[in-house]
Structure 1
Amino acid sequence: MTPSKRKISAVMVIALLHDEYEHDICKKSRKVWMKPWLRKRENFYHMTLLKELKENNPEDYRNYLRMTDNAFRDLLSLVSPKITKKDTVMRKSIPAEERLIATLRFLATGRSLEDLKFSTGISAQALGHIISETCQAIYDALRNEYLKFPTTSGEWKKIADDFYLLWNFPNCGGAIDGKHVSIVPPSNSGSYYFNYKGYFSVVLMAIVNANLEFLMVDVGKNGRISDGGIIEDTVFYKKLIEGTLNLPQNNETKYGLNFVFIGDEAFALHEHLQNPFPQRELTYEKKIYNYRLSRARRVVENAFGVLSNVFRVFHTSIALKPEKIDRVVLASCVLHNFLRRNCRNSYTPLNMTDFENIESGIVSDADWRKDSNDAHFTNLQALGQRNASDAAKNARLSYVAYFNGDGKVPWQDRLIK
């Protein structure tokens, strides 16, 4: 054998030995299919505790699930067909009930998956898949009934009737606001989600009706986009500009005023979107207008406050992939509407919404304001007044005249100094 052939043979032997060594290392370091304690999950997981709470501590049971048992059973019946899995020869599937409960606990607490696995008896990897899938199932099962956006003039009028009855604001299709939802940035995303407040976020935009229910939810815009530009990228705003929302015409509205949506200083004035006058140019009449606008706008502040108080995931930096974060936010919003309608007294007791004493003019803050965590669920930036069309300015002045004339309420003069 020539020296060159001997050299080649030696290299081949070394390569074979190396492969065999690597194979042995992999065999030794390969993880087990399931940790032993997870195989005995029924001995340790929270379902035993939940049964005890249901039988003997109904208030703690409701707090654990963030809803009454009746509401939970109704929800389970709706989502079960979408999340039920078949057993395999390798393992038994996790029942739909446990999948839903694990998801509700994640929404209620915002705990990490590594932490949540100890109470659920489900691995963190499986939880990541289960929570995302179940959130999507919740949204799909509830959206048609509990997150229905008006599409006809008649439907918009019903929304407006509630605002007029409850908040003395006519021709209002909803209160608009947005929040930065704190996230753990995805790998290699750089500053894409980094907002002006100094943390990473996606933006939740919403329109809320007079009963604190979400009419429209838009989530997923990265926090780096200017706050004023976020709404302009929504389907709602594009239809508003195009005039394709089928809003009531002025000959159909109360007092012939424009049909409007209401927002704060983060949103540009539009003939169908009212915002407050800046402080520097307030007359007495404009102060009255600002008060009446703020009074009706409070519904969206309270909706967000209740949402984040009940679903504490909004008080954390959500550590999921962006598409999974969107599902978590959408599921939470549609659950909010579901619970507002099915167990309102327990979901939003009186102390969880602002209360205004119209005799004294004192507004008592809701408990969620005292427990607010601005570091993770923050308001959009107030951008101040921008150029508006004459039609938009005239629409606002028409409401100023209305609130100081035919639409005056008895207590407003006592509240404005």
Structure 2
Amino acid sequence: MAARLIAAVMIAEEMEREGRQNLVIIRRRLRDSMNPFDIAEEEFIRLYRLPHEGARRLIEAISPHLQQPRRRTRIPKSIRILCCLNFCASGSYQRRIGQDYLNCMSQTEVCKSICVVTRAISNLLLNEWIKFPTTDRERNRIKRRFMEKSNLPGVIGALDGTHIAIVPPNTAREHIYLNRKHFHSKNVQVVCDYDLRILALNAQHGGRSHDSHVWRTSRLREYMRTTYWLGGSSSWLIGDSGYPQEPWLMTPVHDPPEGSPEARYNAAIILARNCVERCIGVWKGWFRCLRRDRTLHYSPEKAGQIINCCAVLHNMALYYRVPLPQAILEEDINGQRNDNFYIIPAEDGSTIRRRLIAQHFR
């Protein structure tokens, strides 16, 4: 009796093993028979958020840096990259991504592809596609756009924060990712120009951190401060009233009288800041894995790489003029004011703001 039971178990295991091997072969044949680049441009953009040309450029840029297994059923690098793009665009579960007729991959391979490709894009392309303006020519171009659209001079970028939901991390520091709305997230600092192009990104902080804390500890603030003291006193970022007023960061005046120069200044800064809200909305509209209802089921570190990857893809999509999606508008978790924020020497910032109002909004 025992021998029969053992034999039956061995037969079942052998059949299961053969079934897995056959499934791998079937997936390979399906992949070999399908070429994602054969589908129409419109459908390709819907699946991957890039046109054929942009996807080919991306594949050429990172393929040499991806390891390729030597096994006979190995998955082509191009399929791995497109699988990752499909995940970023849809935010679907890994098993669902693998079952797509253009991918034909197991859940395990989808997971590997997402991790490898997002890391490669984050490490190799982030500095190429996410660039803060450092030359007079770049700054003047951005200033002109803001001036044309909002009548606010000197602006080289709009600043805001957004929360990207993640699963509760299995770490002793889990509490730093729990935000005020009682879900776990990363608080991502975004700076963009008026044309919605992301100029700077900081995805290192947990959801518990306020926007102002993320800004105060950022390398970008240190760069702006250094530039100011070296003579760059005619350029600044703009933020909402949750940020401190600084010489290099203009914020609204609190509760100005109606019809006053300060009120006109506030109207201009609100109009100018609208671009960063639209940028974040379009970003999450293109890449649904960033939406709150598509929580990232990854560690905070891997989630940060996915966020960086999606920022690169966002700028690439703008470069290739991909039609803008319907923007995703989400609740401001941090709120507008932060009166308990540690104020750095604010006299200079307030003086510059008063001079700006006196010169341009009288």
TM-score (norm. length: structure 1): 0.74
Aligned counterpart in structure 1 of residue 295 of structure 2, from 308, 317, 326: 317
Structure 1, residues 63-119: CA drift from partner, whole Å, max 9, x if none? Answer: 11212112222222222212251423xx33211110111001100011111322222
Tell whether the 8 Å contact from 1:146 to 1:337 is kept in structure 2 after alignment.
yes
Correspondence for 1:212: 196
Tell whether the 8 Å contact from 1:153 to 1:248 is kept in structure 2 after alignment.
no
Correspondence for 1:393: 350
Correspondence for 2:74: 93
CA distance in 2: counterparts of 1:232 and 1:62, whole angstroms: 38
**Pairwise mapping of residues 15-414 of structure 1 onto structure 2 (< 5 A)?**
32=17, 34=20, 36-42=22-28, 44=30, 48=34, 50=36, 53-54=39-40, 58-83=41-66, 85-88=68-71, 91-119=72-100, 120-153=103-136, 155-189=138-172, 190-241=174-225, 243-244=226-227, 248-250=231-233, 258-279=234-255, 284-315=260-291, 316-341=294-319, 343-344=320-321, 346-348=322-324, 367-368=326-327, 371-372=328-329, 374=330, 379-385=333-339, 389-405=346-362
Structure 2 portions without partners, runs of 5+: 1-8
Query: For residues 115 and 276 of structure 1, do their structure 2 counterparts lie closer, same or farther at Cα, with a shift above 3 Å needed?
Result: same
SS at match of 2:188: strand
CA distance in 1: counterparts of 2:164 and 2:178, whole angstroms: 11
Q: Which amino acid aligns with 1:324?
A: K
Rg comparison, structure with higher value: 1
Query: For residues 398 and 225 of structure 1, do their structure 2 counterparts lie closer, same or farther at Cα, with a shift above 3 Å needed?
Result: same
After TM superposition, give the deviation of residue 289 of structure 1 in Å.
0.5
Tell whether the 8 Å contact from 2:126 to 2:308 is kept in structure 1 after alignment.
no
Q: Which amino acid aligns with 1:274?
A: M
Structure 1, residues 103-149: CA drift from partner, whole Å, max 9, x if none? Answer: 01100011111322222322222222211211122234433432122
Query: For residues 173 and 70 of structure 1, do their structure 2 counterparts lie closer, same or farther at Cα, with a shift above 3 Å needed?
Result: same
Structure 1 portions without partners, runs of 5+: 1-24, 251-257, 353-366, 406-417
CA distance in 2: counterparts of 1:51 and 1:152, whole angstroms: 38
Root-mean-square deviation (CA, aligned residues, Å) is: 3.1
After TM superposition, give the deviation of residue 151 of structure 1 in Å.
3.4
Structure 1, residues 250-270: CA drift from partner, whole Å, max 9, x if none? Answer: 5xxxxxxx4211001221111
SS at match of 1:80: helix
Tell whether the 8 Å contact from 1:288 to 1:403 is kept in structure 2 after alignment.
no
Structure 1, residues 275-309: CA drift from partner, whole Å, max 9, x if none? Answer: 11223665522221011111111121111111100
Q: Which amino acid aligns with 1:278?
A: H
Percent of residue pairs bearing the same amino acid type: 22
Structure 1, residues 178-197: CA drift from partner, whole Å, max 9, x if none? Answer: 10110012224542311111
Tell whether the 8 Å contact from 1:84 to 1:95 is kept in structure 2 after alignment.
no
CA distance in 2: counterparts of 1:299 and 1:100, whole angstroms: 30
CA distance in 1: counterparts of 2:290 and 2:279, whole angstroms: 13
Q: Which amino acid aligns with 1:240?
A: M
Query: For residues 149 and 404 of structure 1, do their structure 2 counterparts lie closer, same or farther at Cα, with a shift above 3 Å needed?
Result: closer
Tell whether the 8 Å contact from 1:264 to 1:382 is kept in structure 2 after alignment.
yes
SS at match of 1:175: strand
SS at match of 2:245: coil
CA distance in 2: counterparts of 1:191 and 1:268, whole angstroms: 26
CA distance in 1: counterparts of 2:230 and 2:142, whole angstroms: 11
Deviates more, 1:183-192 or 1:152-161: 152-161
Query: For residues 80 and 290 of structure 1, do their structure 2 counterparts lie closer, same or farther at Cα, with a shift above 3 Å needed?
Result: same
Q: Which amino acid aligns with 2:361?
A: N
Number of aligned pairs? 347
CA distance in 2: counterparts of 1:290 and 1:46, whole angstroms: 58
